[in-house]
Amino acid sequence: MKKKLFVFMTTLMLAAKASAGVSVSPVQLFIDNPNKLKSTTLTLESVDETEKRVFEVKVFKWTQDSQGANVLEPDNSLIVNPKNFILQPNKRQAIRIGFPQASTAALNGAGEQSWRIIVDEITPVNNQLAVKFLVNFNLPLFVGKQDDLNVKFDVQSNKLVLNNLANSHVQVTNLKVLNDQKKVIYNNDTMAYALPKNKLIYDLKDINLNHAEKYSVMLETNKSKKAVEMKLSN
């Protein structure tokens, strides 16, 4: 099946509640050891709504290309129950996502693998002409052991490259470049993921990082409650 390149706003995944009155929990899904725990559950809740809503759940295998761009491919290796459902006003709907028994052996020892669980609202057939805000949730599912932070930085032309050397993802929420006087000369607070053995590329534009040993990077990630400072030359 042909792979498709998708660009999605990762900041939306932090929103536990949509303005339309539908919330989702949790906003990230984990199965640490599929041989012991083969499934996980997310919950949609209707909050202060007066109408029912119809949803469809889609699953995509999530990888990244050599430049760190996200690639999603439709995948049917996961079991989703239910795939289609009606969310009644002020009610909850649990969705279970997991692996059949035959699939877990292939995941063992393979390092972390990633999927995207997309929950789309569908316009009711009898209401096609109505103008309505449709809810969409794009949630990551990570399967496998979570490693500690293990990254290395490279400077290529006017780009800073974060190489994720770990066997699991790193979620970067803020990255700053500091000079030898500890002054911030570059700041990026866009949340982004580097999947295992992959990279994130930051365009420094007109900032020149000659003599990399004079600079350091202040990094905020999902691996630590506090920011971590690292020498750029390391």
Show the domains of the chain with their CATH numbers: 4-143 (2.60.40.10), 151-231 (2.60.40)
Instruction: Please determine, for residue 50, whether its predicted confidence score (pLDDT) is greater than 90.
Output: no
Share of the chain above pLDDT 70, in %: 83
Specify the pLDDT at position 2.
Answer: 43
Average pLDDT over residues 122-134: 67
Is the distance from CB of 223 to CB of 170 less than 8 angstroms?
A: yes
Q: Binning pLDDT at 50, 70 and 90, where does residue 132 land?
A: low
Specify the pLDDT at position 127.
Answer: 58
Cα 193 to chain centroid, rounded: 6
Instruction: Please determine, for residue 12, whether its predicted confidence score (pLDDT) is greater than 60.
Output: no
Specify the pLDDT at position 212.
Answer: 84
Dist. CA 223–CA 112, nearest whole Å: 15
Dist. CA 100–CA 188, nearest whole Å: 40
Specify the pLDDT at position 20.
Answer: 58
Give the residue carrying structure tokens 């079991």: 79
Q: What is the pLDDT of residues 67-124, one digit of tens each?
A: 999 999 999 989 999 999 999 999 999 999 998 865 555 566 668 999 999 999 998 7
Closest by CA to 156, choosing from 195, 199, 197, is 199
Closest by CA to 153, choosing from 204, 196, 216, 80, is 216
Side chain identity at 68, as an amino acid letter? G
Q: What is the pLDDT of residues 176-202, one digit of tens each?
A: 999 999 999 999 999 999 999 999 999
Specify the pLDDT at position 210.
Answer: 83
Instruction: Please determine, for residue 15, whether its predicted confidence score (pLDDT) is greater than 70.
Output: no
Dist. CA 202–CA 158, nearest whole Å: 9
Is the distance from CB of 112 to CB of 144 less than 8 angstroms?
A: yes
Q: What is the pLDDT of residues 151-170, one digit of tens each?
A: 999 998 889 999 999 999 99
